[in-house]
Amino acid sequence: MTDMTAGIPAAEGGARAPLDAAGMDPRLYNEDQLPTTAAERTWDWLAIAALWVGMVVCIPTYLLASYLINSGMSWDQAVLTILAANAIVLIPMVLLGHAGTKYGIPFPVLLRSSFGPSGAKIPAVARGIVACGWFGIQTWVGGSAIFVILNTLTGGALAGEALPVLGISLAEFVCFLAFWALHLYFIRNGTESIRWLETYAAPFLLLMGFALLAWAYFAAGGFGPMLSTPSAFDPGQPQEGQFWVVFWPSLTGMIGFWATLALNIPDFTRHAKSQKDQFLGQLVGLPIPMALFAFIASAVTSATIVIYGEAIWDPIQLAERMGGFSIIIALFALIVATLTTNLAANVVAPAHGFSNLAPSKINLKRGGYITAGIGIAMFPWVLVNHIVGWLIAYSALLGPIAGVMLADYYLLRKTKLEVKDLFRMDGIYSGRNGTNWAGVGALVIGILPNLPGFLAGVGITAGTSDFFATIYTYAWFVGLFVAGAAYLVLSKILNK
């Protein structure tokens, strides 16, 4: 059994307050959800920074810059937009990460403070479903890299017709399943195996990124030709004066990319040695590598115009064009990058979320297996074609969850939690029949302003007014502040 004194803030003199198992509802915990022990707090700031590098360096991150430049931005505007978005999302990352480090609890358990032990299942599963979608997309990307390697080495022998229903060839589907199965090894071996992978993969991935930049530099003849494409918003250009119209929805989309991790960051910071480690690790590991990798993507893609006569944004296609032994090195790096991102960002969170549905029956490992299964069922090779709209859409959901959690932990609780009561159906966080309706109500209120824009964005309605379209442009911000304010008001009314 896990040490029940774990994860409780150290009192004066360094002693830990005991957490007595008596009175804790066995339906609300398993060993994976109990506060981390002192022995499990092994992550220093370098380990947390490495975790972020491993998550940041991936193909979807590479493609973010392509989306911005295709929208008309120059390389520097794209990089600065991505840097700004990640500097903003770093704030809730660090603030919610504080709770994980202070109390040693994962995301679904922290949710119980604001939603109640039963109500917490709603946002935990909502976060988990989003992660399942990303898990499938990342697994499809990694499987595609494996397919390209094997197909190139066999002289195109694996190419084939698309299968009915699936819409992809048999070889592509087999490569996808092979990469999917690789994830199961790390799911079986738990969080510590993921930390080990991230720590050793981070320097390798950074090295590969700089190697790709160096190749583009010499092949294109320097940074001058590589970075010469002007902004479409400059005077005399096709989209003159329209920068801010494109910037704000783009910023929201870029925030949405990591808004998922902004919620469940306690899943990782609960393993941090100290608040300094979780803060410094995230500060070093998130915004700077994101901007750096966006610059590499922009520069390398611009170089492909000089080298090949066309812009090649997909790194898998680029590796294929490079040919020779370099394709194997490049695509091996892509596989490692995709694996590290997927395990940390898209397995741990939904595994905890699904475990929270029935902790006595679903542990972290089984939750990971459920995630892997749903990831296949979502047909990620179809979903991948709708990433940008999806980013804004789910930011409209995740922003309100973050708003409720931040308002609860900092403004209502003043960072003080009774950990034992988080594991009780009749504790101080139980609300009515296990649900804190202030949290659920605030979540609904936070979503409502963005609903008309969402329905229009996904094609369910023909359109919406300019007012709601503008609100939807700022979906994450609107949801966060509206839900946070609503939670404080509803808490006074419903939870006297």
Q: Which two tokens stand for residue 430?
A: 């139980």
Q: Enumerate the domain spans of the chain.
A: 47-382
Is there a contact between 215 and 304 (Cβ–Cβ < 8 Å)? no
Q: What is the mean pLDDT of residues 6-20?
A: 40
Amino acid 459 reads G
The reported pLDDT for the residue numbered 207 is 87
127-161: per-residue pLDDT in tens?
888 888 889 988 998 898 899 888 888 888 888 88
**Comparing 91 with 55, which gets the higher pLDDT?**
91
The C-alpha atoms of residue 317 and residue 339 are separated, in whole angstroms, by 19
CATH number of 47-382: 1.10.4160.10
| Nearest alpha-carbon partner for 476 in 392, 389, 388, 387 | 392
**Comparing 312 with 214, which gets the higher pLDDT?**
214
Beta bridge pairs of residue 10: 16
Residues recorded for the chain? 496
Please check the confidence at residue 193 and state whether its pLDDT lies above 50.
Answer: yes
Q: How far is CA 425 from the centre of its chain?
A: 30
CA distances from 459 to 374, 380, 444 (A): 24, 20, 21
pLDDT band, very low/low/confident/very high, at 81 (cuts 50, 70, 90) = very high
pLDDT band, very low/low/confident/very high, at 418 (cuts 50, 70, 90) = very high
| Distance between first and last Cα of the chain | 37
Beta bridge pairs of residue 162: 169
Q: What is the pTM of this model?
A: 0.85
152-162: per-residue pLDDT in tens?
888 888 888 88
pLDDT band, very low/low/confident/very high, at 496 (cuts 50, 70, 90) = low
The reported pLDDT for the residue numbered 5 is 38
Please check the confidence at residue 302 and state whether its pLDDT lies above 60.
Answer: yes
Q: What is the mean pLDDT of residues 423-427?
A: 92
From the number of C-beta atoms within 10 Å of its C-beta (0-12, 13-18, 19+), residue 79 rates as buried
Q: What is the mean pLDDT of residues 84-103?
A: 94
Is there a contact between 75 and 354 (Cβ–Cβ < 8 Å)? no
The C-alpha atoms of residue 370 and residue 396 are separated, in whole angstroms, by 25
The C-alpha atoms of residue 426 and residue 204 are separated, in whole angstroms, by 49
The C-alpha atoms of residue 77 and residue 79 are separated, in whole angstroms, by 6
Please check the confidence at residue 191 and state whether its pLDDT lies above 70.
Answer: no
Q: Which two tokens stand for residue 409?
A: 């932990």
Is there a contact between 446 and 480 (Cβ–Cβ < 8 Å)? yes
Amino acid 111 reads L
Average pLDDT, the chain: 86
Beta bridge pairs of residue 488: none
What values do phi and psi take at 169, rounded to 5? -75, 165
Amino acid 231 reads S
pLDDT band, very low/low/confident/very high, at 462 (cuts 50, 70, 90) = confident
The reported pLDDT for the residue numbered 391 is 66
Q: Which two tokens stand for residue 380?
A: 């990620």
The C-alpha atoms of residue 19 and residue 9 are separated, in whole angstroms, by 11
Count the Cβ atoms, other than its own, within 10 Å of residue 231.
18
The DSSP string of 271-289 is TBS-HHHHHHHHHHHSHHH
Please check the confidence at residue 394 and state whether its pLDDT lies above 50.
Answer: yes
